[in-house]
Amino acid sequence: MKVARFHAPGDIRLEDAPMPEGDLVIRVVNCSTCGTDDKIYRHGHHHIRPPRVMGHEIAGEVVGTGERVQVIAAIPCGVCADCRRGRMTVCQNQESMGYHHDGGFAEYMAIPGKVVAVSGVNRIPGNVSFAEASVAEPLACVLNGQELAGVGEGDDVVVMGAGPIGCLHVRLARARGAARVFLVDVNPARLAMASGLVHPDAAVDGDAEEQLLKLTGGRGADVVITAAASGAAQESAVRMAARRGRVSFFGGLPKDNPIASIDSNLVHYRELTIVGANGSSPSHNAAALELIASGAVPVADLITHRLPLDRVLDAIDLVARGAAIKVTIEPGS
């Protein structure tokens, strides 16, 4: 079979590999890409010991049965103190597909027993395509973030970042009953592309703070989500939040520049809540599939590019340039 292996920063190779062995092997039908794949390609990752098959947004069919399944990316241990308390997203022993284990940029993939042990293999509903199912993983992360930030009925929500994650945040916020959702991005072309798909109540590419205050009658937003790896966005998010507002630091910052300067008095006097968001749990993945299947969060139109495995570098380039919303790899095409 063919696989796309990461060997070193700037070095991903399409290679021949033996068929994987294991109790559960799938034929990968779709493995979608994300910004993390670009980061790994450019800089590597401390959890990856090359060579490693990348890809963590995985959907395929079980060899031998044909069962259609979606596979989690983040694998909690299920037994540590945090896992036992239901906090699987912050499991200290967490492993990940495409990092610790070979991922989905391959024609076939073995599913580790650790994934099965935490109910990390989800049956794909009949009305959901493999490509849509592969988007369940990022949607699961978005769901975790919005649960932590308490997005709900009547909220004004600001989403900073118009990439695929930002688009999913817009749609999920609507599904959770938000009154208005505003989308912000510093890239006008990407903002226009995303807005044409998810139709926020307003798209903002200029002075976001000034425009958002006008849009909310000077009050600010109930929830501000930073779906971008930007310290400036985090600092601005605090200033845009209404009294008793919630701010979600959804996008992590670069390892070499992880410090943001937050106006602590705004947090204090406005009684703001700032929450982090780190990945998703197996239950979030199952819930995300149901949101897609029910139509509450459509994702098919967010998949703007479908490429074969031998064009994985083209896929990563599209992601890096912000020239696509969601790019999916179809290894069998």
Query: What pLDDT digit, counting tens, does each position of 201-255 carry?
Result: 999 998 999 999 999 999 999 999 999 989 999 999 999 999 999 999 999 888 8
* Cα–Cα nearest to 59, from 119, 110, 127, 134: 134
Tokens of 153: 């009925």
Tell me the C-alpha distance between 316 and 327, whole Å: 8
The structure tokens listed for 116 are 């099965």
How far apart, in Å, are the Cα atoms of 325 and each of 14, 99, 152, 328? 24, 23, 25, 10
Q: What is the distance between the alpha carbons of residues 102 and 6, in angstroms, rounded to a whole number? A: 10
Q: Which residues contact 260 (CB under 8 A, 6 or more apart)?
A: 231, 232, 234, 235, 253
136 close to 326: Cβ distance less than 8 angstroms: no
Structure-token pair, residue 120 = 């990390």
pLDDT at site 31: 98
Strand residue runs (E) in 128-240: 156-160, 180-184, 202-204, 221-226
Contact between residue 98 and residue 53 where contact means Cβ atoms under 8 Å apart: yes
CA distance between the termini of the chain? 13
DSSP 252: P
The strand pairing partners of 160, in sequence order, are 184, 226
- Neighbour tally for 241: CB within 10 Å: 25
Q: What's the number of CA atoms in the CB half-sphere (13 Å) around residue 280?
A: 27
Q: Quote the percentage of the chain above a pLDDT of 70.
A: 100
pLDDT the model gives residue 308: 98
Q: Is 83 exposed, middle or buried (0-12, 13-18, 19+ CB in 10 A)?
A: buried
Distance CA 255, CA 231 (A): 12
Distance CA 235, CA 175 (A): 27
How far apart are alpha carbons 62 and 24 in whole angstroms? 7
Q: pLDDT at position 332, please?
A: 86
Strands 202-204 and 180-184: parallel
Placement of tokens 């600001």 in the chain: 158
Query: Can you give the pLDDT at residue 197?
Result: 97
pLDDT attached to residue 189? 92
Spell out, as residue ranges, where the chain has pLDDT lower than 50. Answer: none
Q: What is the pLDDT of residue 183?
A: 98
> What one-letter code names the amino acid at 311?
R
Closest CA to 119 of 148, 165, 90, 83: 83
pLDDT on residue 101: 97
Q: For residue 206, what pLDDT is reported?
A: 82
What local confidence, expressed as pLDDT, does residue 255 receive? 84
Quick one: pLDDT at residue 172?
98
Evaluated on CA atoms 5, 78, 57, 182, the torsion sign reads: negative
Q: What is the pLDDT at residue 279?
A: 93
CA distance 144 to 150: 10
How is the chain split among helix, strand and coil, in percent rounded to 5? 35, 25, 40
Largest CA distance in the chain: 61
pLDDT recorded at residue 112: 97
